[in-house]
Amino acid sequence: MTTDAGPAVLRYTAFSREPEGGNPAGVVLDASVLDDPAMLAVAAELGYSETAFLTAPPADLGGVPGRAFTLRFFSPKAEVTFCGHATVAASVALAERIGPGELLFATPAGPVPVTVAEDGGVLRATLTSVAPHTEEISGPDLAEALDALRWPAADLDPALPARIAYAGARHLVIGAGSRERLAGLDYDFGRLEAVMRRLDLTTLQLVWRAGPELFHVRNPFPVGGVVEDAATGAAAAAFGAYARELGLVPEEAVLTLHQGQDMGRPGVLTVVLRAGDPRVRVAGTAVRIP
């Protein structure tokens, strides 16, 4: 919907059933009148980690007519190649208007299908990532990132070796040796931003393993102008690929990620790994913020 003041900007929070939980995202269901500077201005004014902008799909995308879109993401500072929580928010916003079912988005990272299903009156969106991969990080680069975090190497979990993981955006995965270490997040914003820009990272995925398939995570996001992301679907997808590739979980598994507790915005992300399919599925709810 577009008004004389411009396209309507909806506010949703993803990976929570409560407006006070999860990660807020802006959603513009019709961004056809906005150019790139205007989209960036909307995202900056809103101040959420990302805002999703929907326009007509490219002719070659495919999908069901009326259920396929181009989807772009802007942080307050720049465009982001892929954002999971804003995808979930946009999918639930669409499903409230056109009904649950299959959606297909053309994103800067590639096509992303989403299934929205209703269960007991609650809409739940499941996105499927683009093909993921992981790569090594050099010792000096990791040391620089740890210095910016103010995390001593002795506080890390050697069973969760640091890697750069990708499932639409690049994230540096670092394993914390304790829940207390994960809770202690007080980093050098400018220094970490500089490291991340040099390595082309979107967030850091800081992880503490609470059980075989249960993890607590946090996501610094200085490159987006945000100290921390409250629930990060793109990083969850990247982490799922990381955990499977390193043999930390079975090839077919359902992982539960808790995020946002340390920010006072608790959320839950479900990561689904399927045997024979390298892609990662991330599922969660979303609710409109009044």
CA distance 203 to 201: 6
Note the Cα 91 to chain centre separation in Å.
14
Mean local confidence (pLDDT), 103-110 = 98
Mean local confidence (pLDDT), 8-20 = 97
Is the per-residue pLDDT at 274 higher than 70? yes
User: Residue 67 to residues 72, 98, 107, 118: CA-CA distances in angstroms?
Assistant: 16, 8, 14, 17
Domains and CATH numbers, the chain: 2-128 (3.10.310.10), 133-285 (3.10.310.10)
Is the per-residue pLDDT at 54 higher than 60? yes
Facing residues of 70 across strands? 55, 106
Residue 211 backbone dihedrals phi, psi, to 5 degrees: -170, 180
Where would I find the H helices in the chain? 36-46, 84-98, 139-149, 179-183, 189-199, 233-245
Is the per-residue pLDDT at 4 higher than 70? no
CA distance 6 to 59: 26
CA count, 13 A, side-chain hemisphere, 165:
28
Residue of 56, 77, 24, 39 lying closest to 286 (CA atoms): 24
Contacts of 70 (CB under 8 A, 6+ apart): 54, 55, 56, 57, 58, 61, 105, 106, 107
pTM value is 0.95
pLDDT band at 5 (very low <50, low <70, confident <90, very high): low
Mean local confidence (pLDDT), 30-35 = 98
Residue of 28, 17, 31 lying closest to 51 (CA atoms): 28
Mean local confidence (pLDDT), 70-84 = 97
Tokens, residue 138: 């050099």
Whole-number pLDDT of residue 1: 47
Whole-number pLDDT of residue 6: 74
Mean local confidence (pLDDT), 185-210 = 98
Percent residues over pLDDT 70 in the chain: 98
Note the Cα 94 to chain centre separation in Å.
18
Residue 254 backbone dihedrals phi, psi, to 5 degrees: -120, 115
CA angle 152/175/268 to nearest 5° reads 130
Q: Mean pLDDT over all residues of the chain?
A: 96
Contacts of 203 (CB under 8 A, 6+ apart): 169, 171, 172, 219, 220, 221, 223, 224, 229, 232, 234, 235
